[in-house]
Structure 1
Amino acid sequence: MTATDPALTALANGWAALYLLHGRIEAHIERALQSEHGLSVREYSLLDVLSRQHDGEGGHLQMKQVADAVVLSQSATTRLVARLEDRGLLSRFLCPTDRRGIYTDVSDTGLKLLREARPTNETALRQALDEAAQNPELAPLVTAVEAKPTRRRPDPLPAP
C-alpha cells in the first residue's frame, strides 16, 4: 500500500464535492424546466447562449463556440440544435461571408419560451443552492458560487 499525498487527496475531495454540487443543481433545474416548460438544462443553456448573440460582423457564434459554451461535443451540439430547430425554437443559416460556416439564431418562439423559462431556472437554482448550503461538505462551495466577483470575469467565448 502506498502513501497518498495529502494535497492530492484534498484536491480529489474538493473535486468530488464540486461534482456533487453541480450534479444536484443540474438535476434540480432539469426537473423544474422539464415539468414547467418541456426543456432540458442543455436546451435551456443553448437557447440562452444563442439569445446573447448580436447582429452584425462577429455577432454570431460558430458551432464550435456554441459547443464550448454549452459544454458538449460538436456532434452532440449539432444534434441538440437539430432537435430545437425541429421544434421551431431556432433556425440555422449560412454565413454570408463564408458559405462553409453555419450559424444558429433563436426564433421568436424560442425567445418567448426562454423568457418564460428564465424565472423557473433562477428559482430552481436558488432552491438547489439553499438545499446544498445545508450540507457541511457543500456549504463552502455554495458560498463561493454566491460570492460577488471582485473583478470582471473574462468573456466565456473567445472571439472567432
Structure 2
Amino acid sequence: MKKLFPAPLLSLSLAVLWLVLNLSVSPGNLLLAILLGIVAPQLMAPLRPLQARIRHPGTILRLILRVGADVLVSNLLVFRSVWQAGRRPPRSQFVHIPLDLRDAHGLAALAMITTVVPGTVWSELALNRSILLLHVFDLDDEASFIEHFKTTYERPLMEIFE
C-alpha cells in the first residue's frame, strides 16, 4: 500500500485540487483526479528522500496564527511606508541572521514564511546553514528585528521539527 500511495495526504490533496480547479465531478474528471493522485506522488517520491517528523503539532497552529497576524500588520506597515516615501524614504537593508535551525523541512518552512510576510525577502542561506541573509524593506532597529525573527519564527519551527 505504501508503494501505491507513498504520500496519501498528497494524493488526496492533488485529487481534490484537480476536481476543484475543474469545477466538475464528471466521470472523466474523477478518473483523471484519481490517476493524478496516484501517479504524481509516485513520480515525486525520489525528490523527497527525507521524511518530516513533526514533534509538537500544537505549535503549528500558534505559528500559523502568528504568521497570519504578521502578514496583516506587515501589509499595513509596508503600505504606510510606501505612502510616506516622499517624506521619509524606507530604510531597507540586508540583515545577517544567525540560525540555530538546521532541519531541512524547518528551513523550507522558514523560507515560505519570510517570502509571504511583506517587507522581507529571503536572499541567501550560508552553505553550512548557519547564517541567513535577509532583505528587509524598512528597518528601524536591526538587533530587535533579529530577536523578533528568531523568537517568532525560528524557535517555533525548531520546536516543531527538531
Q: Same fold (TM over 0.5)?
A: no
TM-score by length of 2: 0.25
* Higher radius of gyration, 1 or 2: 2
TM-score, scaled to structure 1: 0.26
